Amino acid sequence: MKFNSLLLALLSGILLWLGWPTSGFAGLLLVAFVPLLIVERRLRLYETRRAAGKVFLFSYLSFFIWNMATTYWLYFSTPFGMWFAVLVNTALMSLVFLGYHLLARKATQGAALTFLACLWISFERLHLDWEFSWPWLNLGNGFSETTSWIQWYEYTGTFGGSLWIWLVNIFVFLSVLRFRPELPQDKLPLKKMESKIISKRQFIIKRVAVLLALVIVPILISQIISYSNFEINKGGGTQVVIVQPNIDPYSEKYYITNDSIVSHITNLALPLTDQFTDLIITPETVLADNIKLTNLDRLEYNRAVNQLRLSLLDYPNVNYLGGVSITEIVRDSAQMNPQTNLYRDGRTLYNDYNSAMFLKARDSLKIYHKSKLVVGVENFPYKSVLQPILGDAMLDLGGTVSTKTIQEDRTVFEMNNSAKVAPVICYESVYGEYVSDYVKNGATFLAIITNDAWWGNTQGHKQHLSLARLRAIENRRWIARSANTGISAIIDHQGNIKQSLGYEEEGAIQGSIRPRSGMTFYTTHGDYIARIASLMGLFILLFSVFRRGKMKRK
């Protein structure tokens, strides 16, 4: 039995891997947990010693395969960060499965499976909110390459996809459990054998019919929603030029002056810019040579910024959006915040920003600071607790030993043509409810600026682009995406990639996007499925514990 359990655990891990974007087939996710659920049931019913430990180990094997095979590319940016993310995330997933096993000992199978789905979704919600945030493998993200299946994300967000995966997996698992003869068939009388075969055939037909409904109906609903959101291309819209400078972050990016970068990006953008162009977009931290200021208002007078502004004078209707690295030297307490850093001299305080800069030829500059940060590289999780223990070990992973300063609200920039653009910076695009806050603040389209070159030509940058498609569906907003080395793209409100520029290609995209108003159900209500799941999970847990305590008193 141990060997069979090992094979089943391996099978679950492989199915999760082969079902993940961008090289997998998402349909496999709908059955990927079934082998592991069978392993857990066997251990619960037939193992009397150390069953919980074995459940944890077998689930750890499954989830390690999934995490490692799909996010190995983190190694190219930070080996320590990759191993930390893989090992810790695998352990957290295994603890969720262990929690299901422990409750299943005390509750009915149906209650325990409901608890598992609720607990997993609650775990995914935790990954969106806590300081070790890593929602990359939240199950609903698995459909990012099959957007025709999940147009209903405008109502549910990605947690609708997570719920769908668990519903189908649980149904298939329960069907497997029920498809077992009570007695060996060779000991049954002929008439009983015939009756049992007919009964079994009817059972299979009914189960297959329900399974097909569980899989096909959501896809059909998605097709209906897609048809209702179809837009005929009438021309017009907002004209954008998306720049992809293709600068290596390891050997070039931080060794080139901002003046040189401005010359480079304008040489790429201006040949495609004309009197109809509304917006030029450049990547995250494209001005990477840290601009040191005593006050953020002084950014307006920086030489590279003025060089950019001068390049737009011949195009008075053009707006510019791009990334910039800023260091603000703290002179008084009003400038301090929870992320303020201390220089190695032990005296000088400063705020470190990864920001988006928005400017027009003849108007004041506006700025937004990235606020969903990459763990370990841009922020120090639970800094007050961990820094005395680890020093700068957590931050010294990506060429920096400082914590980025964030802002509370989502800034939206208004363009000359009255369209409103959301400056979504890199990792922020992974967070559904977070991006929806831009739309609540009036954004009529999204601009994602990013630098995905840290991971090389791996699945990393492909998955990041793919996840952006989910944000388009959730909010029914077009997306203009500028990536340093690619993949830059224009994505429509149904998650379809309309134009793109391949990885490690230097150049620019000239295209049209269609600003849209109105808010979807998901934009308005956010991750309500996760909140409901958390409450249900807590209720099932308390009910099971109370019920067991009551039985003991009897």
Q: What is the DSSP string of 155-212?
A: HH-HHHHHHHHHHHHHHHHHHHHH---SS-GGGS-HHHHHHHHHHHHHHHHHHHHHHH
The tokens of 407 are what?
A: 């802002």
Residue 395 lies in a domain: no
Q: Are 65 and 192 within one domain?
A: yes
Q: State the pLDDT at residue 188.
A: 42
Residue 367 lies in a domain: yes
Mean pLDDT estimate for the chain: 89
pLDDT band of residue 419 (cuts 50, 70, 90) is very high
- How many angstroms separate the CA atoms of 241 and 269, rounded? 6
Q: State the pLDDT at residue 387.
A: 64
Q: Are 220 and 173 within one domain?
A: yes
Q: Are 260 and 176 within one domain?
A: no
- How many angstroms separate the CA atoms of 117 and 129, rounded? 19
Per-residue model confidence as pLDDT tens digits over 160-194 = 999 999 999 999 999 988 876 433 344 445 455 44
Q: Look at residue 484 and give its three-state secondary structure.
A: coil
Q: Are 308 and 344 within one domain?
A: yes
Q: Are 169 and 272 within one domain?
A: no
Of the candidate ranges 28-42, 112-126, 292-306, 525-539, the one whose mean pLDDT is the lowest:
292-306
Q: State the pLDDT at residue 118.
A: 97
CATH number at residue 325: 3.60.110.10
Q: State the pLDDT at residue 183.
A: 33
Of the candidate ranges 35-49, 81-95, 481-495, the one whose mean pLDDT is the lowest:
35-49
- CA end-to-end distance (rounded Å), the chain: 37
pLDDT band of residue 1 (cuts 50, 70, 90) is low
Q: State the pLDDT at residue 205.
A: 85
DSSP state of 375: B
Q: Are 209 and 336 within one domain?
A: no
- How many angstroms separate the CA atoms of 78 and 59, rounded? 26
What is the rounded radius of gyration, in angstroms, for the C-alpha atoms of the chain? Answer: 26
Q: Are 345 and 463 within one domain?
A: yes
Residue 54 lies in a domain: yes
Mean pLDDT across the stretch 492-514?
95
Taking alpha carbons only, the member of 474, 507, 503, 505 closest to residue 491 is 474
Mean pLDDT across the stretch 368-383?
85
Residue 380 lies in a domain: no
Q: In which residue are the tokens 């006050």 written?
A: 295
Q: State the pLDDT at residue 451.
A: 94
Q: State the pLDDT at residue 401.
A: 55
Per-residue model confidence as pLDDT tens digits over 194-220 = 455 557 777 788 888 999 999 999 999
Q: Are 429 and 539 within one domain?
A: no
The tokens of 404 are what?
A: 């980025």
Q: State the pLDDT at residue 375.
A: 85
Residue 80 lies in a domain: yes
Of the candidate ranges 3-7, 26-30, 423-427, 480-484, the one whose mean pLDDT is the lowest:
3-7
Q: Are 352 and 478 within one domain?
A: yes
Residue 379 lies in a domain: no
Instruction: Determine what percent of the chain falls in helix, strand and coil, rounding each to the nearest 5.
Output: 55, 15, 30
- How many angstroms separate the CA atoms of 412 and 193, rounded? 70
Q: Look at residue 536 and give its three-state secondary structure.
A: helix
Q: What percent of the chain has pLDDT over 70?
A: 90
DSSP symbols for 107-159: S-HHHHHHHHHHHHHHHHHHHHHSTT--GGG-GGGGGTT-GGG-TTHHHH-HH
Q: Are 351 and 272 within one domain?
A: yes
- How many angstroms separate the CA atoms of 482 and 268, rounded? 13
Residue 397 lies in a domain: no
Q: Are 67 and 185 within one domain?
A: yes
- How many angstroms separate the CA atoms of 55 and 414, rounded? 54
Taking alpha carbons only, the member of 55, 43, 46, 58 closest to residue 12 is 58
- How many angstroms separate the CA atoms of 160 and 140, rounded? 7
Q: In which residue are the tokens 């002179």 written?
A: 331
Q: Are 178 and 203 within one domain?
A: yes
Q: State the pLDDT at residue 393.
A: 54
Q: State the pLDDT at residue 397.
A: 41
Mean pLDDT across the stretch 271-290?
94
How many structural domains compose the chain? 2
Q: State the pLDDT at residue 461.
A: 95
3-state secondary structure 12-34: HHHHHHHCCCCCCCHHHHHCCCH
Q: Which domain holds residue 311?
A: 238-371+406-513
Per-residue model confidence as pLDDT tens digits over 384-410 = 776 666 665 554 444 445 789 999 999
Residue 377 lies in a domain: no
Q: State the pLDDT at residue 195.
A: 55
Strands 279-281 and 497-501: unpaired
C-alpha distance from residue 7 to each of 68, 97, 175 (Å): 18, 18, 20
